Structure formats: C-alpha cells, structure tokens
Structure 1
Amino acid sequence: MLQSREEKAKKVLMVARAFPPFLPVGYSIRVIKFIKYLPALGWQPVVLSVDDQQEYETLPKVGSEALLSEIQPTVKIIRTMPGEPSLRYLQKEKEFGGKNFATRLLVKIFGGARRWVFRNIFLPDRMITWLPFAVGKGRQVVKDEGIDVIFATCPPHSSALTGAVLKLFSGKPLVLDFRDDWIDTPWHLAKPAMVRMIEKLLEKWAVKMADKVILVTEWSRKAFQERYPAQPRDKFILISNGCDLGELEALKSIVPVHHTAKFTVVHAGSLNVSTVWGRSPAGLFQAIQKLLRENPQLKGSLVFKFAGDLPDEFRKLADEMGLTDVIRGLGHLPHAEVLRMIKSADLLLAMNYEGWATLIPGKIYEYWAVGGPPILLLSCPGAAADFVCEHALGIAVEPYDADGIQQAILQVYRQSKTSSPLRIKPDGVEAFDRKTLTHQLAQVLFTVS
C-alpha cells in the first residue's frame, strides 16, 4: 500500500547513466517521468548520473535538456565522472595527431588500442567505465541520504551491474528496470561466442542480486521468466512505457488541419543505420515506389514527413528511387509542432528496430493518445505487432514486405477519400498514463523496502 502524506517519504536512489542533458529524449523520458511523479506517492528520488559539465563520445548533448524542467527543485541530482574521454579531449587528440607523421602515428596507435579495449575487454559495454565512479559515489549517497531502495535503469546494461554492486556493498534492496532486453537480442547475438557466454553470466548474476526486475513488455517478461526458471515468477514485473496524458490536454482544443491536396503520412522519431540497432525505411520506399508505378494517378497526391533524424544514406536512397518529391526529412522539431502534425495526419508511421521482437516503439503510445489517424507499424512479429492488433490501433506489416505495406497505405488512402476516414479512439490509453505507471513503480518500491 502507498504511504499517507503524513508519513515521512522514503528515498530511492535512481541510477541512470542515460540522463538529461545527454542523448535524445527517448533515452531518459521513462526515468524522468518516474522522478516527476514519485514524490506525490511517498518516494523522494535521489538521482545518480554522469557529470554534465562536458560532452563525451557516448554522451552527446542532443536535445533532452528541457526534460530537467519537469523535475522538482527538491530532487537531488548527483553526478560523477563517466570514466571515458570528453569530446574536448578527443578534439585535442585529433589536433595533436595532425602536427606531423610521428604524432599522427602515435595518436593512431593509442586511439586504436583504446577502441579495441572498449570493444573487446569492457563488458557488457564500454559504459562499464562508469561503474567504479558510480559505485564509489553511490555508496556515500546511500549512507548520507538514508536511501531505502536502489533503482537502476538500463541500457546501458552495465548500469544493471552498477546497481548490483551497490546492493552488494550497501545491502539495500535493488530494483532493475530493463527498458530494452540484454540477452538474445540482435546486439547480443552479433558478439563472439565467448562474449555472449560471459554476458549471459553477468545478466544472470544481476538478476539474482535484484529483488525485483521490471520489464516494459509482456514478451520481455515471459522471456526473463523462461530464462530464469529458478527465480520466482513474480520477481519479474511488467511496467510498460506510455505517455504523459497531462501534456496532451492542449491537443483537445486543436482542430485537425486535414490535407485536401495531399495524403499525409507522418513518422515522429529518428531512423538510424546499424546492423544490430537499425530502423531502415528501405522496404517502405520500395512500397511507395511500387504504389506510384502501379497507380500513376497518385503522383503528387502523397507526402511522407519524417520529424527526426533521417540519415543521409536514406535521403540518397529516396533520391535514387525517384521519391525526392514524396519523402520530406524535417529534422528535429518542437514537441508541440510534432503533436499538431500527428493529429492532422492521414496515417501515422511507426518503425520498430529490426529483429527486436520484445520491443514496442515508445511513439505508439503518443500516437494512440492523440486519438486520430490509424497507425502503420513496420515490425517483425512480436510485442509491437501484438499491441497494435490487440488495441485496434491500425495495421502491422513486416518492414520489408513491400506488397503488404503498399496495400496498407492504399487501404487507408482510399478510405480517407470517403465520408468516414479511418480514425482510432484513445479509449484505454489511460492505463498507459505516466502517472498510472509511476503508481505501479511506487507499489514495487514499497514491496521491496
């Protein structure tokens, strides 16, 4: 049960390496919302993160700083060294290497050795260099602040080890929050066999040390339960991602501006090029090309807007496929503007990371809450496809099924030209409100404390 307001709040140490002002919003929005709403539920968060006086190779400052304004001034944010070179240092190293042949060779050898160590020695990821600094500072914080529970969110999955070591030294209960799975994922399976074996042992130890393990999808929860049958099944808790319905209240007064000239498809979020963590629109572009070739009357009637990063490789691909006038990369836009685009679109596009069956793209919850256009999800079978079908949010198609994507777009397009265009209802999204989800976390914290 939750505490009454008269009782003294308990304290939870939130171990979060991915935290504003570093990295895009998607990396830290979950923990920020927990921190925002926990104080009203009997818990005072204390944050342990990375020093923000500089930028680092794995921690660029790219647009999440505004999230800090959502945290109450009474919340302490304690920062410590990340254990990796700053961008300023790397720039000086580069300048030093440009002086002559000898310095260039020296920098090449030193930099190459550093990268080799990061890639092959530091497990489960190069961010493990933060562990000694975080544990050293964290032990003192636990003592000085009277911490009741340790909460560690990952990835990076080395943060799960940081939380486990802190529990080992402090004896405080540990709650691990896996925003993304670690084992049996594309990035894990791409590693050498020996590394995969070591990481399985590391995850097993971290899970054993934890009092509760939180997963964000039912697919993830079942995967952990099957992987660790010796652990109690109720050790693994589902607390999904979601959206802050309070932030969307202003949308109710916005009248959608529907496009009579062009059928507009909107994708909110960034795409990226990666063999283990990629979101590619190649299948989508093939479908659009095929659609326009077979339906030439639609030329000039379709536009696909990408709000977020659209890498040059994908822009070039669109040009090569003759889609220059159809694909528009808008870059990063203010959140309010993106929400207006979402509400006024004819179709919303969501793309899952390739091969990640246990993931649900976070944008789906916001798309749903807006309560407007249907969603076209490009994803392999898994948690995301199940979610879209279960809640009647739109159509799920595999990312390289060009025929299936084409038919889905054509279906929604034709319906948009009738008196009853396809729309989705926000009914049921209340269960995924950030306040509701934080209430669930507070209950978990009380259970272990």
Structure 2
Amino acid sequence: MQSQREDTMKKVLVISRAFPPFFPVGYSIRAAKFIKYLPALGWLPSVLTVAEDKEYETLRRVGSEALLSEIPEGVVIHRTYPGEPSVEYLEKERQFGKKNRLAGLLAKVVGSARRWMFRSLLPDRQLTWLPFAVRAGRRIIKREGIDIIFATCPPFSDALIGACLNLLTGKRLVLDFRDDWLETPWYYSKPFPIRAIESLMERWAVSLADKVILVTEWSRKAFVARYPSQPAEKFVFIPNGCDLKDFEAARAMEAPVNPKFRIVHAGSLNDSKLWARDPRGFFQGVRRIVEKQPRLADRISLEFAGDFTDKHRETARELGLAGMIREHGHLKHADVLRLMKSADLLMAMNYEGFATLIPGKIYEYWAVGNAPILLLSCKGAGQELLDAENLGVTVAPDDVDGIERAVQTMFDRYEQGNPVKVNPAGIEEYDRKALAEKLARVLSDLFSPK
C-alpha cells in the first residue's frame, strides 16, 4: 500500500536490464544512484529489469549487492523473464544429447542454431528481453500511473524498449546513453549492413525521445552533429560522478606512508575483444623501469581489485612481473575506497579508441583526494578532464615510453618524500546527489499532467 506522499509524487519508470545485485557495479551504479536520490526530489521511480533467477547467480557481485541496499523504500523493482534459455533447459538439452548418436547430433544442431541466433540479434543479444519488457512495462505504466519513461543503456536494446513503450503509451521518453552506440571502434568493427541497421535503430529511438542524456560533452556534441534536424537542447549533458556520502570516511582518513610504491587499479579489467582494456603496455613500461633499476622490483607493488583475467596474469608472468602483482578480488565498496586512499598512484584504463568516454573510476579517484591518476587512454574526454582539474597524466595504452616516464616520475617524487597529491576541490559538481537534481529538473521540465 502506498503512502499519501507516494500517491502525490510524480512517477518515472526506469528501464535498466543491468541492475543490482547482478553484474559489476559499473553497469548499474548510475541508475541506482539516481533512484536513491530522486524520491527526495519529488520523483518516485519504479524499476523494470530482468528476473532474479538462478541463471544470474554467478553474476552476483559484492559491491552490487551492497548497492541494492541503497534503493529507498517505496521503490518497486519489477523483474521479468529475460528471454534466455534457463539453466534447467540447457541441462535437459545436454542430457538429451547423451541418449544416442542421433540425439547428440540433434542437440548439437539446436545448440549451434541458438548460439547463431543470439549472435545475429541487433543491436545486441539482450534484444530477447524486449517483448517481455515491453509487455511488463505497459502494464506497469497503466497500473502505477507512470508519468515518464527513463531508459538507460547499454545494452542498447534498452533504448528500443523505451521507444516501444513510448509509442504504445504516449508517455514522455528520456534516453540515457552511458556509452556511445555509434561511431566507436565497437561500431566500426561490424559489417556495413549491420552498421546501417544500428544507425537506423538509434535514429528511430532518438527521434521518439523527448530528451537524450549523454555522460560527456564530447558525446553530447557528437549527437548534436549527428542529428542536425533535432533541436540542440534535446541533448543534455549529465556526467557520471560519485556519491560523496560514501567517501566521507575515506576522505577523512590519513593517507599511509607505504614501504612500497603502490600502483592501484580499482576495478575489473575485462578481456572482451570489442571492449578491450589491455594492460600489456602498462606492464611493459614497468618492466623497463625494473630492467634499468632491478631494486625497484621490491619497491613497487601493482595492485588490482575486481576481475583480473588469466590473460593478464600470463602477460605479467611473461614479463617477469608476477611477483609484483597483488590481486584483491571483488571488494566491498568501503574496502575499495580504503585501497584507493592507500595508493601512491591510481591507474585507470579507457576502452581502446573510445575518445568520448571518461572511465567512471576517475571521479572516485578524485573524490578520495590523495594519489594522482595515470589514465591510459587515447586523447579525448578523459584527458580533457584530467588536464582541466590537474588530476594526473594521460598516456596512450600502447605508449610504453610515455608510461615508463610517467611511472618513474611519480615514483621519484614518492622516494624523495614529496609525493604528488590530488586536490579534491571541484568534485562536488559531480556528486551523485547533485547529478540526480539535474535529472529531476529534466524530468520536471517534461512533466505535464494528462
């Protein structure tokens, strides 16, 4: 039963396939933090996401489970069938294939056809969720009196779900692009016919949207240029950031004086072919330092929180750095912040060639207010932010000479007892509460009672 206050609040349906407690925190923290602060700003969110099935149990993450606990009371989370085969079905298929040679061949053909179908779905394999999400979303909009639809992507099929619901219900639509869909290395890796189809998909969704939110000015300008027939004010810049409330204890901590120079990467390093963040160039830069000054092998610690793949371990071993690596695994957010505070150099990696993106960790590193940042990225929005706020240095991921120079310079300052420090002043502009206020203004400007 809703409270009297909830009955009078304006209501927004948040469509986010990636949502706590599943998937890495970075996939859903933006939506979750908006949801945390919107009720105090007059907007009551309802969430539409995928079912909390055991298929996703392996995707539970410590930080993501903690994020779920921040969702305010009164926010209803609607979980629907994702359109993917269940664990039980796949097990039955496997057991059927063991019966005899013919059954095995049939199971193999069915499995291959299913995998081909998933690979062929556009814009992504998560499109299987669309019919179930649209059906559930339409019901939620009618039953709960939703005023505005807010769809955050990727996956970019979430934007299509929002567009379909806009057509079916007539409710205002806000699209939130956490990453760019078009004109990225990922996009250009696809054959021309697929690029053409996805371009039409984005154009269709954008044409239906009342507002399109982008997380960097680089992205906003790219959208304005791509859609000259749309009013420029349709495209709104609301950056990523961090929840400063979560950082109060870390900011008050005294940074330790470490016996080793600790280089920390606080976040998963995935090994995706199209969303690559390969630390090989970084390892090669450190290797050069150690080759020239062998004593530094015992003076530098390379520390990683989150996923660290076998491929990265093999690269470190191949370069003779295995003894310098320390893996922390998945940590609770408070432990991640303590790890950041204890660092002498904080490393962030952008996806290769994604000039319009700023790694979300940049804001958290800045908020901690201690170590400088080494950003491995092509020139773009990330470098612009670091330079403007004097947060550290940006080097291309494959610029081994530049990485060697940057790490050596920071180490020398540390060893001289005069380490480089970052001033946290200015991060307040990127506080999640302030960003939610910007979103609330966008929603309120669109709101018109029927």
TM-score bracket, normalised by the shorter chain, equals over 0.9
Distance 1:383 1:94, change over 3 A: farther
Distance 1:214 1:70, change over 3 A: same
Question: Which shows bigger deviation, 232-241 or 12-21?
Answer: 12-21
Q: Distance in 2 between matches of 1:166 and 1:392?
A: 44
Q: How does 1:216-235 map to 2 (within 5 A)?
A: 216-235=215-234
Q: CA deviation at 1:7?
A: 9.9
Equivalent residue letter for 1:21: P
Q: 1:310 aligns to what?
A: 308
Contact kept? 1:256, 1:340, Cα under 8 Å:
no
Q: Distance in 2 between matches of 1:215 and 1:91?
A: 42
Question: Which shows bigger deviation, 399-408 or 110-119?
Answer: 110-119
Equivalent residue letter for 1:222: K
Question: Which shows bigger deviation, 227-236 or 74-83?
Answer: 74-83
Q: 1:87 aligns to what?
A: 87
Distance 1:389 1:97, change over 3 A: farther
Q: 2:199 aligns to what?
A: 200
1:431 to 394, 413, 429: 429
Contact kept? 2:279, 2:312, Cα under 8 Å:
yes
Contact kept? 2:251, 2:367, Cα under 8 Å:
no
Q: CA deviation at 1:377?
A: 0.4
Q: How does 1:106-121 map to 2 (within 5 A)?
A: 106-120=106-120
- Alignment coverage as a number of residue pairs: 442
Contact kept? 1:55, 1:61, Cα under 8 Å:
no
Contact kept? 2:22, 2:56, Cα under 8 Å:
no
Distance 1:138 1:6, change over 3 A: closer
Q: Distance in 2 between matches of 1:252 and 1:26?
A: 21
Q: CA deviation at 1:60?
A: 3.1
1:179 counterpart = 2:174: no
1:391 counterpart = 2:421: no
Q: Distance in 1 between matches of 2:96 and 2:76?
A: 39
Q: Distance in 2 between matches of 1:324 and 1:22?
A: 31
Matched residue SS, 1:237: strand
Q: 1:350 aligns to what?
A: 348
Distance 1:103 1:186, change over 3 A: farther
Q: 1:151 aligns to what?
A: 150
User: Once superposed, which parts of structure 1, at least 4 consecutive aligned residues long, lie more than 4 Å away?
Assistant: none
Q: CA deviation at 1:174?
A: 0.2
Q: 1:55 aligns to what?
A: 55
Matched residue SS, 1:119: helix
Matched residue SS, 1:45: strand
Q: TM-score, with normalisation over the residues of structure 2?
A: 0.95
Equivalent residue letter for 1:163: G
Q: CA deviation at 1:8?
A: 2.6
Q: 1:104 aligns to what?
A: 104
Q: CA deviation at 1:250?
A: 1.3
Q: CA deviation at 1:99?
A: 4.4
Q: 2:43 aligns to what?
A: 43
Equivalent residue letter for 1:400: D
Q: 1:27 aligns to what?
A: 27
Q: Distance in 1 between matches of 2:330 and 2:239?
A: 26
Equivalent residue letter for 1:160: A
Residue segments in structure 1 that go unaligned for 5+ positions in a row = none
Aligned-pair identity in percent equals 57
Matched residue SS, 1:175: strand
Contact kept? 1:212, 1:235, Cα under 8 Å:
yes
Q: CA deviation at 1:240?
A: 0.5
Q: CA deviation at 1:38?
A: 0.2
Equivalent residue letter for 1:135: V
Q: Deviations over 1:275-297 (max 9, x none)?
A: 21011111011111111112223
Q: Distance in 2 between matches of 1:384 and 1:92?
A: 48
Equivalent residue letter for 2:381: A
Q: Distance in 1 between matches of 2:388 and 2:99?
A: 61
Matched residue SS, 1:27: helix
Q: 2:441 aligns to what?
A: 443
Distance 1:41 1:103, change over 3 A: same
Q: CA deviation at 1:56?
A: 4.9
Matched residue SS, 1:114: helix
Q: 1:402 aligns to what?
A: 400
Q: How does 1:277-316 map to 2 (within 5 A)?
A: 277-316=275-314
Q: Distance in 2 between matches of 1:46 and 1:437?
A: 19
Contact kept? 1:56, 1:86, Cα under 8 Å:
no
Contact kept? 1:56, 1:87, Cα under 8 Å:
no
Equivalent residue letter for 1:173: R
Q: 1:66 aligns to what?
A: 66
Q: Distance in 2 between matches of 1:246 and 1:60?
A: 27
Contact kept? 2:357, 2:381, Cα under 8 Å:
yes
